[in-house]
Amino acid sequence: MKKNMIGLFVLAGLVLSCVTTQNTVRPVSVKAVESETVSVEKKSKVGLKRKVAIARFSNETLYGKGAFYVKENDPLSNKATDILSSKLAQSEKFILLENASSVSTDDTNQYGFDKKQLIGVDYIIVGSVSEFGRKDETDSKVFSRSREQKAVATVNIRLIDVKTGKIVYGEEGSGSSASQNKQSFGVGSSASYDTSINDQAISAAISKLIDNIINKLTDAPWKSFVLNEKEGLFMIAGGASQGIKVGDIFIVQQKGKEIENPQTGGMITLPGTTIGTIQVADVVDAVNADNEISICTLHSGAIENKNFTNLIVLENEK
């Protein structure tokens, strides 16, 4: 009898536990959703894309330069170039032009780009890995053993004005990365040569510079040029790949006069004069982004100057 009663109590307890069991749902934070929405909105507002040329990085250190060293296959310089290109691409603000060769010929400049490639490009990014080193420290005790591998890198970045060839900006950034392995009483992970920290150290160095580089590249307003006019329609260089959309309004300026600076002997371009605005009516696709054009109508003002080489189309930042 007692066994039957105990069995009934146990069965009843199991039934009650099944009935009262339920899934716990965590409440969703409204602030988290709002912040995520804001971040998506910020990402979508990237503006018109600038065209930027990235020259192959140079390796100014002695790391990896053995008897069979080949400059074009230098792992440090190649990795630094790839990391910078990737970070600039993630910003969605640029059309990137990269040249794998650092050898100049009769048709190219000292950075390996020819004149046709640099049409519409304001800046060439030139970089170098000026410092790179690794340190391996091992600590052995009676019952334990640890090993730490550390890589340190310093990267230099320069922005070259395509038209003048002058350095308009330069900065240096350093970064490091480390990995550690421990063993106690023979238990734990063993440490082999870790090559990943090389890339992480270079990435950390470039990450310290990337925001300043992006800000400098986008300081000057986006600009284009009037290519032709027919029956009141103005054709300008640039299209969908640069973010131009139907309905966009651009400012048209007449170039300022060029005068010689008596202090330096160089030429100075005076500020231009705004003569009107144009609105995009159609964006013409092209196989090559360099051949894209947009067709615009006059929005305000008057464009009577048929010498289109003296006109500049600027982004309307209002």
> What residue ranges do the domains of the chain occupy?
43-217, 223-315
CA angle, corner 72, sides to 91 and 106, nearest 5? 90
| C-alpha span between 167 and 148 (Å, rounded) | 40
User: Percentage of residues in the chain with pLDDT exceeding 70?
Assistant: 75
Q: For strand 144-161 and strand 123-140, is the pairing parallel, antiparallel, or unpaired? A: antiparallel
Give 144 or 259, the one with higher predicted confidence. 259
CATH topology classification for 43-217:
Rossmann fold (3.40.50)
Q: What is the pTM of this model?
A: 0.69
Give 104 or 292, the one with higher predicted confidence. 292
Check if 43-217 and 223-315 are the same fold: no
| C-alpha span between 224 and 238 (Å, rounded) | 7
Sign of the Cα torsion 297, 303, 309, 310 reads: negative
Residues, the chain: 318
Mean of the pLDDT values across residues 1-10?
A: 46
Question: Are the beta carbons of 224 and 250 closer than 8 angstroms?
Answer: yes
Q: What's the pLDDT at 21?
A: 35
Mean of the pLDDT values across residues 72-76?
A: 80
Out of 84-88, 133-137, 213-217, least confident range: 133-137
Which residue, among 96, 125, 42, 117, has the nearest Cα to 241 in the 3D structure?
A: 96
| C-alpha span between 123 and 163 (Å, rounded) | 9
- Answer yes or no: is pLDDT of 15 > 70: no
Give 11 or 298, the one with higher predicted confidence. 298
3.40.50, 2.60.40, 2.40.10, 1.10.3470: CATH of 223-315: 2.40.10
Out of 41-45, 263-267, 289-293, least confident range: 41-45
Out of 39-43, 94-98, 257-261, least confident range: 39-43
- Answer yes or no: is pLDDT of 236 > 70: yes
- 93, amino acid identity: K
**DSSP summary character for residue 114:** B
